[in-house]
Structure 1
Amino acid sequence: MRPSEHLETAATPFASSVLDGPFDGVARVEGTFPDWLRGRLVRTAPAIFEQDGWRANHWFDALGMLYSFEIETSNRVSWMQRLLDSEVSRAAQRGRAPYAMFGTPIRRSMLRQLVEPIPVSTDNANVNIVSMGSDWVAMTETNRQLSIDPETLATRGHVVYEDGLPGGMWMTAHPHFDVDRNVAVNVGTIVGARSELVVYEHTPGVRRRTVVGRVPMRRLPYVHSFGLTRSSAVLIAHPFDVSPLSLLWSNRFVEHYRWRPEQGTRLHVVDRATGASRTVEAEPMFVFHTVNTFEQGDDLIVDVLAYRDPEVVRRHMRIEGLRQGVPGLLPQLTRLRIRPGRQRADVEQLVDGGFEFPSIHYRRQSGRPHRFVWGAAIAPARGDAGGMGIVRVDVERGERQSFAGGSFTLGEPIFVPRPGGTAEDDGVLLSVGADNAAKSAKLIALDARSIEPIAEATIPVPLPLGFHGSFQRSAR
């Protein structure tokens, strides 16, 4: 497998140096990782943009790879990278792509289209990887997920659910975890004569899902994430949506969708106890990521990162946009307030300056009021320290701090709390960055309070900029 030559001319963190098989080694450590920080960070990322005549046309479609950093001691970190073994990857090695992908043309014969009107969805799980009990699951935004061995990064096979939900139901790559009840909660999209969004839950590691609630839909929104409290799930139906019938055609997935701002945004609030739902309207916006959702008195608060429109996914993340460098991921931290008895949500921007890939003290604050949010400032707003780095936002004070990545493009920060800590920001942030010019990458640990570096582990491989991952503490 060769690198992404058609992107290497641009100084972007997208071209991978992966050639074949797993690579591993010991990183060069500077500084000292905290004594209490032991464990493995596993991430998935779009990595290979072309292979044997096949080319990805969109960031979301590049063939996935997995990589991990294991913090073994305060000054020893091992690393590993391995290509995701998917059906899409194997087809690409033959120069074929007969799968429904996000922004890359489907190569299907007319006969195949007649026999199979709805194309098989991609299993290129390059969006997120989460720990589900003893299982690790690599996810994309289709009905197909992959089970992963976190120690070797080997692909074990497809995740098969044993319940009555349709096998073709798309699932988001951002499940929530209700720690108090020990259940994973997610949203599925069912396309058919009765299209609907489905909220479901299951015990982590158990592949039998229970339906919590259903919301019938005439047009289906692009659902990337959702909000969750102890009592409600909040589905964000922004006006970037699709007629289910159009999905019968073999277009690129994103080309089915239309931006209809005159329709506004609809927030579907699903009661987790009864399954009943109510709908509240809001101004038009495009949302990839929710930050947190919680009750404040009688009000329901949904904090999101909101774009004005979906151009970031329709245009900036296409190959033509990536050649210009890292796309400007600058949505605004926005609060949606749903008041009892009102049909329209209040909208408030919480802080100046955009960022993406939000992180909170999830185990403690998810579904509860939070004060701090961390994220990656991809192409930071004027006034930041410069570079592509990490931000910390104090929601209560409306203040923002920044750490510049310098020549490194730093991705999603993951908050790891200090054992025994009582403060919301008592812990470290783990982020992975790449410097393509220097052909290197690093894992950096930042103090979550000051966002100053504590330690970093550098490897001689320019890992591609990815989306999401998970950290699991070591058992020993």
Structure 2
Amino acid sequence: MAAPTALPSLSSSGTFHRLASDEEQDAKATKENFHAESWKDWPNEAGFERLEEHRGPIDLKIIGQIPSWAAGSLYRTGPGQNAVDTDNGSTHRVSHWFDGFAHMHKFDIIPSSAPGDGNASIVRYSSRLQAETFVDDIKRRGWRSGISFGQRADPCVGIFSKFMSLFHPIQANNAVVIERNLPGPWSETSRAAQAGHRTGTGDLFVLTDNSLLHKVDPDTLEPLEFIATSKLHPSLRGPLACAHPQRDPESGDMFNYNLEFGSRPTYRIYRTNASTGNVDILATFTVADLSPAYIHSMFLTKNYVVLCVPSSHFSLAGMKIPFVRNLVDGMAPFDKSKPTQWVVVDRRYGDGVVARFTTPAGFFFHSVNAFEEAVVEDRGSQAEWVDLTFDYVGYDSTAIIQGFYLDVILDREEAARKYWIDGPEGSDLVPHLRRQRFRIPASPSSSGSSAQGLSPLPSAEEVFAIPAPHVGELPTINPLYATKPYQFVYSVSSRGLSTMMDCLVKTDVGSRAATIWAPPQSHTPGEAIFVPRPNATDEDDGVLLSVVLDGTAQVSYLVCLNAKTMEEVGRAELEFPIGLGFHGIHAPVSV
């Protein structure tokens, strides 16, 4: 990483480098920016209001250069509409960012055909609404059916309707994570039908924290169908799952969990075989001290799949959810006395749960990476122990969830001040890149698939905790380093200038140095997706693709950054705004 340069102000725009020794100073400057209400000069309304579908395709103006080896399709998902005029004359307004109506986007990056030109010559954009049936149902009813993340329930809706809409929803509103070529019983038919697609994307699915998979046409973005995980395996009948399943980078097998509520809430960890589409239940556990919780992502190493159960527990074993009809109000108040629990499941030999451990009470949305390292105590001997390392972006409490209500993001009636300044303890709102390490025997014995009868739980070792703005949310890495030791994390962070994100940051997990790309005032970046250079030897040899909203001009652009230097090399400009979304995926051109 380049040598550090002087930083006149954390509020500067440009690319600058920071060291571990700057962490405390920069965290303090970020807090000061919040207390100065700097967000009032950083508008984000264009990312949430009056957003439109553009089925296109639309050719975009390219400024600078986008390398030809980044050719492929960049898919993005997130909320679009946030208000619906109903048939009874009222307006249904979305209250939480996570509950906006699904809108999917595609950027086709097409390389130049000119001899010797190593850059893309065309970037084509298209988008499509994904929740039209869901929205039509709201228009007819006048209220939202099913479980939402944080939408406030209509008190006029009767309890019978609440229960029926919860367990028999008309259609879901998946808008968080995109996965391509998911293994399952649909794989062979779908891929045969899509054999000519230039990126080799036969199946495209949009996921959220429920147990429904939303299938989308990868070419037209037409919404196709919803598939319940119970169709994969009859025991996967619970309503909740990870929005972020884990994929084995070698076999392509997919791993997820399913949470079933009841008098004895049950967790099931399962694998979908990439070759056959069959599902194996790797572990089933119901433990008195393991409460049902909101879990957004999980971890995978070479030999284990690991479920981290944060302190985001549901009240009444999850049975409060049908009454409040959203996950946020269904959660119990955060309790520092209830630690985060980790469950380690063998994924190679059918040994079920092989270890459990704890870390201090806290919360997280996103895992970053996980890997194993053999521990050899005597030279020349075989390893008797294995260190499991887990990296994630964590918080000291669940208070951050409240910060994503649209009233706060858009600072309606001073809501931003009430939250960021007068609200929760400031440290609870600061994301940290945390590394936890836990040692297990190289050949652990099974604790049984039920995870019952385990001795008092040991604690993991926290190796480091790097605070914002040297790290942020929506973390990504070079995908070739998944389940392996790695060096760099890319994320969207905040210097306290916006109620959303205001910069992209590259974090070196070895030196704790950070390189920050700070766009101009009111330019809000989205998740940075890493595209590796073919045949590269350096981990950071590639580009980052991020959709940026210019909140002042009310337009968006796709920016391309050099992942080594964090400097802009090119962009593709739109003439309208794209909603501030969540996650995406780059599907490279098939060779």
**TM-score (norm: length of structure 1):** 0.90
Cα offset for 1:104? 1.2
Tell me: CA distance 1:20–1:466, structure 2 relative to 1, closer, same or farther (3 Å). closer
Cα offset for 1:401? 0.4
In the alignment, is the contact (CA less than 8 A) between 2:343 and 2:353 conserved in 1?
A: no
Q: Give SS of 1:92's match.
A: helix
1:34-75 C-alpha deviation (Å, 9 max, x unpaired): 121210101111121111121111111111100111111213
Q: Give SS of 2:319's match.
A: helix
Cα offset for 1:330? 4.3
What residue number does 2:405 align with? 318
The 5 Å alignment of 1:45-444 reads 45-52=78-85, 53-73=91-111, 74-85=120-131, 87-94=133-140, 95-107=142-154, 108-113=157-162, 118=167, 120=169, 123-133=172-182, 134-160=202-228, 161-204=231-274, 208-218=278-288, 219-242=291-314, 243-258=317-332, 259-272=334-347, 273=349, 274-297=351-374, 298-313=386-401, 315-324=402-411, 330-340=430-440, 343-353=458-468, 354-362=471-479, 364-377=480-493, 379-380=494-495, 388-406=502-520, 407-444=522-559
The amino acid that maps onto 2:80 is: A
User: Which residue, 581, 585, 590 being the options, matches 1:466?
Assistant: 581
**Deviates further, 416-425 or 241-250:** 241-250
Does 1:450 find its partner at 2:565? yes
The amino acid that maps onto 1:96 is: W
In the alignment, is the contact (CA less than 8 A) between 2:80 and 2:103 conserved in 1?
A: yes
Cα offset for 1:122? 6.2
Q: Give SS of 2:329's match.
A: helix
In the alignment, is the contact (CA less than 8 A) between 2:251 and 2:274 conserved in 1?
A: no
Q: Give SS of 2:549's match.
A: strand
Tell me: CA distance 1:125–1:217, structure 2 relative to 1, closer, same or farther (3 Å). farther
In the alignment, is the contact (CA less than 8 A) between 2:249 and 2:482 conserved in 1?
A: no
The amino acid that maps onto 2:100 is: A
Q: Give SS of 1:303's match.
A: strand
The amino acid that maps onto 2:139 is: Q
CA distance in 1, matches of 2:519, 2:275: 37
CA distance in 2, matches of 1:316, 1:205: 42
Q: Which has the higher helix share?
A: 2
1:190-216 C-alpha deviation (Å, 9 max, x unpaired): 222432222111135976422122232
In the alignment, is the contact (CA less than 8 A) between 2:432 and 2:472 conserved in 1?
A: yes
Q: Where in structure 1 are there 5+ consecutive unaligned residues?
A: 1-8
The amino acid that maps onto 2:474 is: F
**TM-score (norm: length of structure 2):** 0.73
Tell me: CA distance 1:122–1:100, structure 2 relative to 1, closer, same or farther (3 Å). farther
1:336-367 C-alpha deviation (Å, 9 max, x unpaired): 111238810111334343401111112x2111
What residue number does 2:35 align with? none
1:357-388 C-alpha deviation (Å, 9 max, x unpaired): 111112x21111111111111x2269xxx981
Cα offset for 1:99? 1.5
Cα offset for 1:433? 1.0
The amino acid that maps onto 2:341 is: R
Identity of aligned residues (%): 25
Tell me: CA distance 1:322–1:23, structure 2 relative to 1, closer, same or farther (3 Å). farther
What residue number does 1:4 align with? none
In the alignment, is the contact (CA less than 8 A) between 1:265 and 1:281 conserved in 2?
A: yes
Q: Where in structure 2 are there 5+ consecutive unaligned residues?
A: 1-41, 86-90, 112-119, 183-201, 375-385, 421-428, 442-456
The amino acid that maps onto 1:441 is: S
Q: Give SS of 2:63's match.
A: strand
Q: What do you get for the CA RMSD once the two structures are aligned?
A: 2.6
CA distance in 2, matches of 1:269, 1:106: 36
Cα offset for 1:475? 2.6
Q: Give SS of 2:145's match.
A: coil
Q: Give SS of 2:134's match.
A: helix
What residue number does 1:6 align with? none
1:186-240 C-alpha deviation (Å, 9 max, x unpaired): 1221222432222111135976422122232442111000111011112111111
Tell me: CA distance 1:420–1:20, structure 2 relative to 1, closer, same or farther (3 Å). closer
**Deviates further, 181-190 or 20-29:** 20-29
CA distance in 2, matches of 1:114, 1:60: 22
In the alignment, is the contact (CA less than 8 A) between 1:45 and 1:65 conserved in 2?
A: yes
Cα offset for 1:165? 2.6
Q: Which has the higher contact order (CA 8 A, sep 6+)?
A: 2
What residue number does 2:31 align with? none
1:408-443 C-alpha deviation (Å, 9 max, x unpaired): 211111111111111111111111111132121111
CA distance in 1, matches of 2:54, 2:525: 25
What residue number does 1:3 align with? none
Cα offset for 1:31? 0.8
CA distance in 1, matches of 2:507, 2:164: 52
In the alignment, is the contact (CA less than 8 A) between 1:98 and 1:106 conserved in 2?
A: no
What residue number does 1:5 align with? none
